[in-house]
Amino acid sequence: MGQVRFHARGSRRDAQALYERLDVLFGEDGSPVAITEIDEAADIHEVSVYFEEAGEVDEAGVVHAFAGFGCEREDLPEIDWMAQVLADLKPVRAGRFLVHGAHDRDRVRSNDLAIEIEAGQAFGTGHHGTTAGCLSMIETVIRRRRPAVALDLGTGSAVLAIAIAKLARVPVLATDIDPVAVAVARENVRANQVHDFVTLATATGFSAPAFRDFAPFDLVVANILAGPLMRLAPVLARHLAPAGDVILSGILARQRNGVLAAYRQQGLFHHQTLRRDEWVTLHLRRNLNPVGR
């Protein structure tokens, strides 16, 4: 038997939640999961999961995973699922940055800072609200003050490290706890021709020897999760240069105040918040003139 697709539609918020659930359940086992905008005005989005062998699929389990959405099944005997996923993966624009796959190179404009990242790679294709929020904040912060050296902590696909390197043309240390993600990131860095600026390292927190070579950092970007961000606040602050900038994301709106409090204790103060759906991106600075709380 051939390939099979299970799919359902809902609002952007519901579709994003379903996408994340299916990605955990099936994506980690190699079954691609995609989210597609069907009608922006009507807020209709479609989530699909693709399986290579229809005869080996636990259909009852898949239907259960779509609970509350009423999924439909479509047999795809002659369809290349990767081509389908790539067709669904639209370019993402955040300020001057355009994150796209190889299939959308023709959409790049002359003044774009284009970042090419393929579907199915390590986390961070620009489609998640946290990644897009970080890209927008990176442009805002670097326009105001160009860093001498930067850190992308939890780099994933290296999309944020690539963005910093393309915009500022400065050394960037990019680290991740997952060696597979680091290998993918290294490929992306070279494909985007910023390998002279970006150094990759596998590290838990700030444990890699490379930190001794690069710190202190004028700009630290960390798009991980609120819990780890709060735990890392003291050591992150120690690696930050005087008057350095910090961009944090992977934070739900309801977690914002807790994260701000953890960093305020380290002398890092809130300057700006960007919100995309239920996610926020924070800009903090170490200075004597904090803005807001």
Please tell me the pTM assigned to this model: 0.69
Question: Tokens 């620009």 sit at which residue?
Answer: 126
| Domains of the chain, start order | 3-88 (3.30.70), 129-285 (3.40.50.150)
- Residue-level pLDDT at 287: 67
- Residue-level pLDDT at 117: 85
Nearest to 259 by CA among 279, 277, 289: 279
User: CA 4 to CA 53: how far, in whole Å?
Assistant: 7
- Residue-level pLDDT at 191: 94
Residues of the chain with pLDDT under 50: 79-86, 121-127, 288, 290-293
Strand-by-strand arrangement of the 33-39 sheet: 33-39, 44-51, 3-10, 72-76
131 annotated as a binding-site residue: yes
192 annotated as a binding-site residue: no
Q: Which residues, listed in sequence order, are joined to residue 273 by a DSSP beta bridge?
A: 282
Q: What angle do CA 145, 148, 152 make, to 5 degrees?
A: 90
156 annotated as a binding-site residue: no
Pair 136, 274: CB distance under 8 Å: yes
The model's pLDDT over 73-125, given as tens digits with 9 standing for 90+, comes to 998 755 443 444 445 557 788 889 998 887 778 888 888 899 998 755 444 44
Pair 219, 247: CB distance under 8 Å: yes
154 annotated as a binding-site residue: yes
Does the CA dihedral 143-146-151-156 come out positive or negative?
positive
